[in-house]
């Protein structure tokens, strides 16, 4: 198996035809087809289904696609890391961030990387936590922000922030005569809009409810999109249990309100995670260290509302 075969395979998968792929990698179409045939012979599986309209990945091709991407990324990381020994860190870093953490972290991290690591190309990908977990395991991401729900043993995880979660809702919609706080039991009984399992805060809420001996949350809608969740809350369709940062603009304007949850309080731990098996490039390691510094500053300055820095 050769690196060029992996590049040719990825080009075909991306462009959908041999002719387009051949022009992108600057080889004759016959040479491209020959190299793919050799690769398929070595793997003992067909990677593409051919048709008049082009090609599509087979089941084997979908599996191999993930590994091919990861292998080529590691080769690029190795080259950029060696170059970084005599120069400032350089190269591409793919960083995953959940929807509910991006409002707090994405822009400050982008600004910090631009200022302190000018030769690093930071690619932020915003996804559901379940998707980020799979991509991190497959090597498609260098690192990702995940929530510690007790299932991060596959990763090297560095806890960064403990976030207090609140009951959030439209003022006149659901909660009558609200005080400054609400018990966890009462919050769970409200009509709740939460992410579907296994995404976001859903596993954390259910685990903490079980540990406290409380009933499962009264979920009236499974919504894993922050934008749709926001719209649903503003329409008065229910409440949610989240940290305040994803909905800070609506809370600041008074369109939504947040009640602190007591007895027990509900927390989520935000962790920076990376693979146990794939080494970080110099650029990725530098972005990881910078992420911790950015998060610490945000918490200390009160810009990460209800967030307490717990990193090293």
- Residue 293's pLDDT is 96
pLDDT of residue 175: 58
Say yes or no: 177 and 258 in one domain: yes
- Residue from 150, 124, 153 nearest 208 by CA: 150
Question: Is the pLDDT reported for residue 122 higher than 60?
Answer: yes
Give CA 53 to chain center in angstroms: 34
| Confidence grade of residue 240 (pLDDT, cut at 50, 70, 90) | very high
Together in a domain, 188 and 259: yes
pLDDT tens string 268-307:
999 999 988 888 888 899 999 999 999 999 999 999 999 9
Say how many domains are in the chain. Answer: 3
Q: Would you place residue 174 in the very low, low, confident or very high pLDDT band (cuts 50, 70, 90)?
A: low
**pLDDT bucket at 137, cuts 50 / 70 / 90:** confident
Do the domain assignments include residue 311? Answer: no
Cβ pair 311, 159 in contact under 8 A: yes
pTM of the model: 0.74
Asked whether residue 248 carries a pLDDT value surpassing 70, the answer given is: yes
In this structure, are 249 and 224 located in the same domain? yes
Same domain, yes or no, for 242 and 261? yes
pLDDT of amino acid 138: 79
Pair 138, 227 in one domain = no
- Supply the CATH number for residue 253's domain: 3.40.190.10
Q: How far apart are CA 103 and CA 44, in angstroms?
A: 46
Residue 310 lies in a domain: no
Domain that holds residue 233: 166-265
User: Does the residue 308 lie in any domain?
Assistant: no
Do 145 and 281 have their domain in common?
yes
Supply the pLDDT for residue 84.
58
- For 231-237, the CB contacts below 8 A with 24+ separation are 232/193, 233/168, 233/169, 233/170, 233/193, 234/170, 235/170, 236/170, 236/172, 236/173, 236/174, 237/173, 237/191, 237/193
Q: Are residues 151 and 94 in the same domain?
A: yes
Q: Tell whether 292 and 235 lie within a shared domain.
A: no
Residue 120 lies in a domain: yes
One domain for residues 7 and 133: no
CATH of the domain at 13: 1.10.10.10
Asked if pLDDT for residue 145 goes beyond 90, the answer is yes
Residue 238 has a pLDDT of 93
- 172 plus 121 within the same structural domain: no
Q: Give the model's pLDDT for residue 179.
A: 67
Together in a domain, 150 and 63: no
Q: What percent of the chain has pLDDT over 70?
A: 95
Question: Is there a single domain that holds both residue 54 and residue 181?
Answer: no
pLDDT band at 1; cut points 50, 70, 90: confident
Residue 51: inside a domain, yes or no?
yes
Asked whether residue 246 is domain-assigned, the answer is yes
| pLDDT given at position 81 | 66
Residue pair 96/138 in contact (Cβ under 8 Å)? The answer is no
Residue 20 lies in a domain: yes
Residue-level pLDDT at 193: 95
């Amino acid at each position: 198996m050769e690196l060029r075969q992996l590049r040719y395979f990825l080009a075909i998968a991306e462009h959908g035809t041999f002719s387009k792929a051949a022009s992108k990698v600057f080889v004759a179409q016959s040479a491209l087809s020959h190299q793919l045939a050799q690769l398929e012979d070595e793997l003992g599986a067909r990677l593409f289904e051919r048709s008049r309209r082009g090609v599509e990945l087979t089941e084997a091709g979908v599996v191999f696609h993930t590994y091919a991407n990861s292998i080529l990324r590691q080769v690029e990381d190795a080259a950029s890391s060696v170059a970084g020994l005599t120069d400032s860190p350089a190269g591409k870093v793919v960083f995953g961030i959940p929807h509910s953490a991006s409002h707090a972290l994405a822009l400050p991290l982008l600004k910090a990387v631009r200022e302190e690591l000018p030769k690093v190309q930071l690619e932020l990908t915003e996804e559901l936590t379940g998707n980020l977990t799979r991509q991190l395991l497959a090597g498609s991401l260098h690192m990702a922000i995940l929530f510690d729900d007790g299932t991060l043993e596959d990763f090297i995880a560095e806890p960064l922030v403990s976030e207090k979660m609140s009951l959030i809702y439209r003022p006149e919609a659901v909660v009558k005569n609200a005080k400054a706080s609400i018990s966890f039991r009462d919050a769970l009984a409200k009509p709740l809009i939460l992410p579907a399992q296994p995404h976001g805060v859903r596993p954390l809420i259910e685990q903490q409810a079980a540990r406290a001996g409380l009933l499962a949350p009264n979920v009236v809608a499974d919504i894993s999109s922050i934008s749709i969740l926001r719209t649903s809350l503003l329409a008065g369709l229910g409440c949610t249990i989240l940290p305040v940062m994803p909905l800070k603009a609506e809370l600041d304007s008074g369109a939504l309100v947040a009640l602190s949850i007591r007895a027990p309080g509900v927390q989520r731990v935000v962790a920076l995670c990376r693979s146990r098996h794939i080494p970080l490039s110099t650029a990725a390691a530098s972005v990881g260290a910078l992420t911790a510094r950015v998060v610490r500053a945000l918490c200390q300055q009160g810009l990460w509302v209800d967030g307490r820095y717990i990193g090293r």
